[in-house]
Structure 1
Amino acid sequence: MNYDMWILGLIAGLMGIFTSYILYLSRTAENPLRKIITYILLAMMNGMLLGPAIYLSGVITISLEDAVVISAGLMAIEIIYPLILFVRSIEQEDIEVRISIPVIIFLTLLNEFLMSLDFNSIILSKTIFTIYGTSIVALISQTVSSFWFIFPMALEMGLTAIFTIRKGEKVAFIFIIFQSLVMFFTPTAIPQSTWISISVFAGGAVMTALLIFIFESLYRESYVNKNFSRYLLQILLIYGLMMIGVMIFQYESSVLIVSIAVLLEMIVYINAILRKNYFSGKGKVYWLANKEWSTLFLMDVFIAEFAMGATFDFQYYGTSFFINSLHLAVFSGSIINMITEFFYNTVVFVGGITGSSWFLIMMGFEMGSLVVFKIMKTRELENKIRLGLMIGAYGIYSILIPSFLVTNSRIYPFIGWSMGIGTAGGLAPALIIPMLLTYVISGSLSLLFGARQLCSVFCTAPLMYQGTFYDSMKKFNRTTPTAKKLSTGGERNLIYRVVSFTIYISLAVAALFSFLYHYHILNYEIYGTDPLFFMYIIIFDIMWYAVFLTMPYFGNYGCINTGYCHWGNFNRFVGKYGLFKLKVKDPSQCVTCKTKDCALACPVGLSSQPGSFISQGQFKNSRCVGVGDCVEACPYENIFFYDVRNFLKEKVMKKE
């Protein structure tokens, strides 16, 4: 059996190389004669594999000699079609060009499918329908998701990229090399627990690296080739589907969705690779000027990230254990009950993933890498230190301590209650004091260092907002009407008032119900979940991502500009009476400054700094969270942060 595996593996590898070269020939063919050759080669491979498939199907009994004859006959028949196309192309070449690409895609996938079908039957020493039964869907999905289809396709993807787009299309080439690695680590390829575990985490790591590469490439270029922009959106959406398929595979061993995703990916890929100059053609998408494309891109990325985070959770905790830990409602009763149960289950499941440690770990590596890139570009030492503290706080304070070091973080102020009321649960008697102390600790820090202690260090949001790619989206604050209104209107804006008021009322009502429930005054819970904690899941584990993904419409740091984050609002209110402010060394420098870069750089849209610096020598605003982009942007290095450290230093100097 091992000998057979090596022989078949060698054949599969050679066929993968051969197919890659055929696709290369098809892409570079400049006349009908060269195109006809690619048709004939694909048809010959197709016919060669069809005979054994009939022989191994078990439907009819034929000898090996008969299988060879059938293969030869099929090859002869299939060659007729490209010959007809060749004759027609002499008179009407356009017809041939339009038809050729779909046919090549079909024949290429059919060849891989037949090879997988034949080799699986040979290795298992069973007829095809004995393996898969009579279900055509099962036959196709099991064949496409197997070792003999996945690995050759990954090989072909990498080789065709090397053959066809290695020169002159660098971003697309690197993207496709990553893509081939993601394909290689498809968990369904080898249905063994060790491979599944390795492939889930290795494939996730490769996909994370791929996203980091795309983010940084977009940031550096500020535009993307029009065709590649379309390709990028399609592949990312397919990755989301594939990760959902892997989730289902982990839960109930169904490979149908994975197979659909693999086929869609190969169709999109082969279609692109066959078109000469596809990735280097004319036309560009300037994503910072195209809010529709940018929003679609962010949503595609999030779908893939969400499903990938779920596969991590399923693999690490075990699918059944993780699902059971969510305490999902059982569908029963009237239609109204089933609708509410569906809503509850959706909220708990989505929130359970986005709030899970493995999802945050993945996001930490991805977003943290972009912050590291920003640190490398940052001029001011204090900004470098703050960005480093922000990464450290995310890893230690948001993940390591509450998830892996402290067994019951809820009883510890400021650790379990990272986002104030609702974070760690309801208003149970034992949790009220830790929760109140969290407000005292965080409020005290805001008095001393400003709200930046939360909004630029301890909160998970700044890590996601301040990396190179996402930070550049603050340009939408000036160009999108709604974002401009939110960033310039501040607390006076109607949207801000409505959103913040709604959040406060919702949490207050949920807190009241939670309090009454835990004190046995009112027996009210939501399918076993505390109402306050359920409201927190909706606000911070679901709706926050809606705000984040719509940055092109609502602007960078939407959590501040919309009044959406009650925890940030509290700290910014307290910080207003504290020591933190921005100061300038020389106000007269601001008078002569022509660019006013400090105002343009602000990620929350504050624009009154120059006037305040000139008239008062300082700037203080409750929406300023000390990101430091204004300090960095000042061409004269005139702006600096002022907080408790400067205050104490001044007191010491006066005494001396």
Structure 2
Amino acid sequence: MNIKVTVFHYILDRSYIFLLFIIFISLIFPIISAFISLIFVGLLFQGLYLRRQSSTNSPYIVLEILSMLSLIYAAQFFTHLLKATDIVFLSYLIIISLSLYRLKRIIKKKTNYLQNSKVAFTLLLLAFLLNWFISGFLDLTQGNFSVFGQFGYFSYPFLAIMNFISAFASITASPWFMIDMGIWLGVIGIFRIIEYNKLENKIRYLLMMFAYAFYSIYLPSFSPLQSEVQYIPYMWFNGLGTYGPVRSSYLLDGIIGTFTVTAILSFMFGSRQICSVTCTAPYMLQNTFLNSMKKYNRSSKVGRKTLTSRMSSWYKWVMSITWISLIILAVLSFLKFSILGNDPTMFYTSLYFNVIWYFQFMLMPFLGNYACVNSGICAWGSFNQLFGYLGFFKLKVRDLKQCLNCKTVDCANACPVGLTDMRAWFIKKGEFKSFKCVGVGDCVEVCPYNNITFYDVRSWIKEKLYPIQFKHRGTT
């Protein structure tokens, strides 16, 4: 058996011992134990990924571990929030008792997370809750944090849901949350890089990890340029509302500058420069475990409706409504109107990226992977997809006959967006271009004939310089 696989089997099979170790550490160094917990979770998910081909008790073991870790940090969170120390003592008592019980009596029930959508959903839900409670705990220990700081507190009963959203988003918008998500997803992201064979995919993933650290963590929270960043083009990495309301002082250079630069880059290199590099979504979706969830693009009811490159009428409606709404909100923001005391564009951006997106993340087993792309709900993504579609980027094949004779259709099966019709286009035109293609590169990676290549502005330049040598070829 592969040594790497053996190591992860060892971790999974002895996960309750590791849990007891984390509990012990948390009694002395609660903050350090939080980071150890996140690394441990990443290793557990990698172990699940390596066992994805068979039904085992591992998913249920991980569910229990996540539940107990969530209980620990939920107790820590509410202890700091409510100043009630009894909660922590009770949670530790429950977890230690259950862990000792599991050391003697293992879980016998078996399943496969790729065949059990409810288990897959619960895994993502508990992983998110653990991350949320750890981040909330760290936010509270650092001080200067308000649970309802994102949208404010609403005293009216009919706005109670807004208090939930405000509390939810206050933590998901915090730097600690992005750091914590970055840790456990980074662990399985590293294994994704190792898994890649194509150098371009390795480089893109490394750039994506850097972009996540830079745009999502350093720039908005720790950079000395925090007060000036809204004036810099390409810094509004989530589009309108990223760094502030629409104001004339930075409308031209900051906002319009960002849209102009990113449109040019998408035109030259495809929307992957956003949707597979600088956006936070690909960092959270393209690692080993989450990428395997693309199976639900075909098996879930909603996922099946988003397959192929065809833009359905409902997709167009959602995208149109999203953009019309955002334009109206931008005008209201410029005129200094507010929504429930919040700037309209900042309200929209935070509501989508800090609330709705994470529900899409957790509901992946029912919606399919890359729901942000397949639903048309992400305005920033669709803007870049438009210019990517109009520009140079596409997928090309070296030999049409290889596609015609292909029996595996690995390219279509590997696509995390669910573009299952790419082989038909390869056979018909020798290339594939889709509004929904965000250039993840899994199709290039898995082609058994090494027949698929990326084509972008670099390829176009090479074709002009060396028309014979680079005919029917892209960049590899």
Q: TM-score, structure 2 length as denominator?
A: 0.90
SS state of the match for residue 583, structure 1? Answer: strand
Separation of aligned partners in 2, 1:344 and 1:295: 24
Judging changes above 3 Å, is the alpha-carbon distance between structure 1 residues 413 and 174 closer, same or farther for their aligned structure 2 residues?
farther
> Is 1:407 the counterpart of 2:226 in the alignment?
yes
> Is 1:599 the counterpart of 2:422 in the alignment?
no
Q: Deviations over 1:521-573 (max 9, x none)?
A: x5x4523x212212211111000001111111110111101112111111101
Once the two structures are TM-superposed, the CA of residue 585 in structure 1 deviates from its matched residue by 1.3
SS state of the match for residue 185, structure 1? Answer: helix
Which of 76, 87, 103 is equivalent to 1:257? Answer: 87
Which residue in the other structure is 1:308 paired with? Answer: 134
Q: CA RMSD in A?
A: 2.5
Separation of aligned partners in 2, 1:488 and 1:260: 51
SS state of the match for residue 359, structure 1? Answer: helix
Contact 1:631/1:640, CA 8 A, preserved across alignment: yes
Q: 1:81-480 residue pairs with structure 2 within 5 A?
A: 170-186=10-26, 189=27, 198-200=29-31, 202-222=32-52, 229-275=59-105, 278-279=106-107, 281=108, 283-315=109-141, 317-318=142-143, 321-323=144-146, 326=149, 329=152, 332=155, 337-340=156-159, 342-405=160-223, 406-408=225-227, 409-415=229-235, 417-433=236-252, 434-480=254-300
Once the two structures are TM-superposed, the CA of residue 339 in structure 1 deviates from its matched residue by 3.5
Amino acid at match of 2:340: I
Q: Which moved more, 1:502-511 or 1:365-374?
A: 502-511
> Is 1:578 the counterpart of 2:381 in the alignment?
no
Q: Deviations over 1:274-313 (max 9, x none)?
A: 43xx24x4x4201101001100111011001111112222
Judging changes above 3 Å, is the alpha-carbon distance between structure 1 residues 613 and 173 closer, same or farther for their aligned structure 2 residues?
closer
Contact 1:353/1:359, CA 8 A, preserved across alignment: yes
> Is 1:545 the counterpart of 2:351 in the alignment?
no
Separation of aligned partners in 1, 2:61 and 2:209: 32
SS state of the match for residue 607, structure 1? Answer: coil
Contact 2:43/2:188, CA 8 A, preserved across alignment: no
Judging changes above 3 Å, is the alpha-carbon distance between structure 1 residues 613 and 324 closer, same or farther for their aligned structure 2 residues?
closer
Amino acid at match of 2:24: F
Once the two structures are TM-superposed, the CA of residue 272 in structure 1 deviates from its matched residue by 2.6
Task: Decide which structure has the larger Cα Rg and report it.
Answer: 1
> Is 1:557 the counterpart of 2:370 in the alignment?
yes
Contact 1:477/1:484, CA 8 A, preserved across alignment: yes
Q: In percent, how many aligned pairs have the same letter?
A: 36
SS state of the match for residue 323, structure 1? Answer: coil
Q: Deviations over 1:430-482 (max 9, x none)?
A: 23221111110111000000001001111111011110001111111111222
Contact 1:224/1:287, CA 8 A, preserved across alignment: no
Separation of aligned partners in 2, 1:558 and 1:331: 31
Which of 440, 443, 455 is equivalent to 1:630? Answer: 443
Separation of aligned partners in 1, 2:468 and 2:447: 33
Contact 1:178/1:206, CA 8 A, preserved across alignment: no
Separation of aligned partners in 2, 1:525 and 1:576: 34
Which of 489, 492, 512 is equivalent to 2:331? Answer: 512
Once the two structures are TM-superposed, the CA of residue 489 in structure 1 deviates from its matched residue by 6.9
Which residue in the other structure is 1:45 paired with? Answer: none
Judging changes above 3 Å, is the alpha-carbon distance between structure 1 residues 365 and 490 closer, same or farther for their aligned structure 2 residues?
farther
Q: Deviations over 1:593-650 (max 9, x none)?
A: 2211111111111122222222221111111111111011110101110101111112
Separation of aligned partners in 1, 2:128 and 2:294: 19
Q: Which moved more, 1:643-652 or 1:469-478?
A: 643-652
Once the two structures are TM-superposed, the CA of residue 228 in structure 1 deviates from its matched residue by 5.2
Aligned residues: 460
Judging changes above 3 Å, is the alpha-carbon distance between structure 1 residues 476 and 329 closer, same or farther for their aligned structure 2 residues?
closer
Amino acid at match of 1:240: S
Contact 1:604/1:623, CA 8 A, preserved across alignment: yes
> Is 1:500 the counterpart of 2:331 in the alignment?
no
Q: Deviations over 1:250-271 (max 9, x none)?
A: 2343223323322332343233
Once the two structures are TM-superposed, the CA of residue 574 in structure 1 deviates from its matched residue by 1.2
Which residue in the other structure is 1:536 paired with? Answer: 349
Contact 2:296/2:364, CA 8 A, preserved across alignment: yes
Contact 2:309/2:419, CA 8 A, preserved across alignment: no
Judging changes above 3 Å, is the alpha-carbon distance between structure 1 residues 506 and 371 closer, same or farther for their aligned structure 2 residues?
same
Structure 2 gaps of 5+ residues are 1-7, 470-476
Separation of aligned partners in 1, 2:266 and 2:301: 32
Separation of aligned partners in 2, 1:472 and 1:458: 21
Contact 2:296/2:365, CA 8 A, preserved across alignment: yes
SS state of the match for residue 307, structure 2? Answer: helix
Contact 1:449/1:643, CA 8 A, preserved across alignment: yes
SS state of the match for residue 303, structure 1? Answer: helix
Once the two structures are TM-superposed, the CA of residue 223 in structure 1 deviates from its matched residue by 6.3
Q: Deviations over 1:373-405 (max 9, x none)?
A: 111111111111111111111112332233222
Separation of aligned partners in 1, 2:378 and 2:311: 13
Judging changes above 3 Å, is the alpha-carbon distance between structure 1 residues 252 and 482 closer, same or farther for their aligned structure 2 residues?
closer
Separation of aligned partners in 1, 2:333 and 2:157: 24
Contact 2:154/2:163, CA 8 A, preserved across alignment: no
SS state of the match for residue 503, structure 1? Answer: helix
Separation of aligned partners in 2, 1:264 and 1:225: 28
Contact 1:426/1:514, CA 8 A, preserved across alignment: yes
Contact 1:572/1:623, CA 8 A, preserved across alignment: yes
Which residue in the other structure is 1:491 paired with? Answer: 311
Q: Which moved more, 1:361-370 or 1:284-293?
A: 361-370
Contact 1:422/1:536, CA 8 A, preserved across alignment: yes
Separation of aligned partners in 1, 2:263 and 2:468: 29
Q: Deviations over 1:568-599 (max 9, x none)?
A: 11110111110001111111221222211111
SS state of the match for residue 14, structure 2? Answer: helix
Once the two structures are TM-superposed, the CA of residue 348 in structure 1 deviates from its matched residue by 2.7
Contact 2:276/2:282, CA 8 A, preserved across alignment: yes
Which residue in the other structure is 1:68 paired with? Answer: none
Once the two structures are TM-superposed, the CA of residue 330 in structure 1 deviates from its matched residue by 5.3
Contact 2:238/2:349, CA 8 A, preserved across alignment: no
Separation of aligned partners in 1, 2:232 and 2:211: 17
Which residue in the other structure is 2:4 paired with? Answer: none
Separation of aligned partners in 1, 2:316 and 2:69: 39
Separation of aligned partners in 2, 1:364 and 1:169: 24
Once the two structures are TM-superposed, the CA of residue 490 in structure 1 deviates from its matched residue by 4.1
Judging changes above 3 Å, is the alpha-carbon distance between structure 1 residues 590 and 330 closer, same or farther for their aligned structure 2 residues?
closer
Separation of aligned partners in 2, 1:298 and 1:330: 28
Separation of aligned partners in 1, 2:33 and 2:375: 37
SS state of the match for residue 287, structure 1? Answer: coil
Separation of aligned partners in 2, 1:234 and 1:626: 36
SS state of the match for residue 284, structure 1? Answer: coil
